[in-house]
């Protein structure tokens, strides 16, 4: 891998969204004599973000988009790729754009080669719960409207693609994720969604991946782990689930960054 993810000083001010993809990666064969790529992970992520309207141009006074480009690289080691952006939307009452972020990363990897995704780590910056919420369960639990509006996308997933998964949330130095865990487990089971059928939660059996940033090394760790079944093992489904858990966490008093890690169990 030609680059390493940058350290994250001033995390609260910068609101960095970061993803590390672990597994095997095989670049596509190239027909030219040298087999060299004309584009890399950084340039392809930039181009895809711009094409989808997700990129905020790096010019003073620019509006629109979800993030500004920071860094990206892909390789063939256990850390197959990383992507890092700075969110440009306000933190107040907005859903974290994890699903488009991971979808964009997946598009880039598919353009570069074939990824066997074994595990994912996502840094979820601090934010308030999405203010645009609606009732999402018979007992009047509420969650972000945008999350519920996208559920039909997963409604007809091939049942053969369902997979057991382990999801760990790390509150780093802040212990509030532990206090919120029982309520999160209840909400994930109660809210009308079929993306993640959560069977249990625990304060052990965590998925711990190597630190990807200096920020992780310097912080403490307060972790909770959820086990269940995902509608499919994809960056798309994991992006939805990460945004969902971040929104629920914010509704239960977690207002500091979280690190979500996920792996498949079968």
DSSP 194-206: -SEEEEEEESSS-
Looking at the structure of the chain, the number of domains it has is 1
Please check whether residue 1 lies inside any domain of the structure: no
95-151 per-position pLDDT tens digit:
899 999 999 999 999 999 999 999 999 999 998 888 888 777 676 778 888 888 888
Q: What is the per-residue pLDDT for 218?
A: 62
Could you tell me the two tokens for 215?
Answer: 């920020």
Q: What DSSP character marks residue 55?
A: B
CA pair distance 8, 15, nearest whole angstrom: 9
Is-contact 213 5, C-beta < 8 A? yes
C-alpha to C-alpha distance for 67 and 54, rounded to whole angstroms = 6
The per-residue pLDDT for 38 is 76
Instruction: Tell whether 2 is covered by a domain.
Output: no
Distance of alpha carbon 245 from alpha carbon 191, whole angstroms: 12
- Position 193 in a domain: yes
Cα–Cα separations (whole angstroms), residue 21 to 60, 64, 173, 183, 249: 32, 27, 24, 29, 23
The answer to whether residue 243 sits within a structural domain is yes
Low-confidence ranges of the chain (pLDDT < 50): 1-13
Q: Is residue 27 part of a domain?
A: yes
In this prediction, residue 63 carries a pLDDT of 74
Whether residue 3 is contained in a domain is answered as no
Structure tokens at 30: 């190239």
Question: Residue 64's Cα: distance from chain center in Å?
Answer: 21
Contact predicate 104/42, CB 8 Å: no
Tell me what pLDDT residue 200 has: 93
Cα separation, 179 vs 119, in Å, equals 26
**49 lies in a domain?**
yes
Tokens of 163: 């997979």
pTM beyond 0.95, yes or no: no
Which structural domain, as residue segments, surrounds residue 128?
A: 11-264
Strand, helix or coil at 4?
coil
Task: Report the pLDDT value the prediction gives residue 96, as an integer from 0 to 100.
Answer: 94
* Residue 111 within a domain: yes
The predicted pLDDT at position 125 comes to 92
Look up residue 113 and give its two tokens. 């080669």
Residues 160-177: tens digit of each pLDDT: 999 999 999 999 888 999
- Whole-number pLDDT of residue 173: 84
């Amino acid at each position: 891998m030609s680059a390493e993810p940058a350290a994250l000083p001033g995390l609260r001010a910068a609101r960095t969204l970061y993803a590390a993809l672990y597994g095997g990666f095989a670049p596509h064969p190239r027909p030219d004599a040298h087999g060299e790529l004309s584009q890399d992970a950084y340039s392809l992520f930039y181009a895809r973000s711009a094409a989808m309207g997700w990129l905020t141009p790096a010019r003073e006074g620019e509006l629109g988009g979800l993030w500004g480009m920071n860094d990206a690289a892909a390789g063939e080691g256990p850390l197959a790729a990383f992507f890092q952006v700075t969110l440009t939307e306000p933190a107040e009452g907005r859903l974290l754009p994890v699903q488009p972020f991971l979808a964009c990363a997946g598009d880039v990897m598919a353009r570069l080669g074939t990824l066997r995704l074994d595990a994912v780590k996502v840094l979820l910056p601090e934010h308030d719960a999405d203010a645009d919420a609606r009732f999402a369960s018979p007992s009047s639990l509420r969650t972000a409207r945008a999350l519920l509006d996208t559920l039909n996308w997963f409604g007809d997933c091939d049942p053969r693609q369902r997979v057991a998964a382990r999801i760990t949330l790390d509150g780093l130095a802040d212990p509030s994720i532990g206090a919120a865990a029982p309520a999160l487990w209840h909400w994930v089971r109660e809210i009308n969604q079929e993306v993640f059928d959560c069977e249990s939660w625990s304060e052990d059996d965590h998925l711990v991946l190597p630190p990807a940033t200096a920020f992780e090394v310097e912080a403490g760790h307060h972790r909770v782990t959820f086990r269940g079944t995902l509608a499919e093992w994809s960056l798309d489904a994991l992006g939805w689930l990460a945004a969902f858990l971040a929104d629920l966490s914010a509704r239960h008093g977690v207002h500091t960054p979280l690190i979500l890690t996920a792996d498949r169990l079968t």
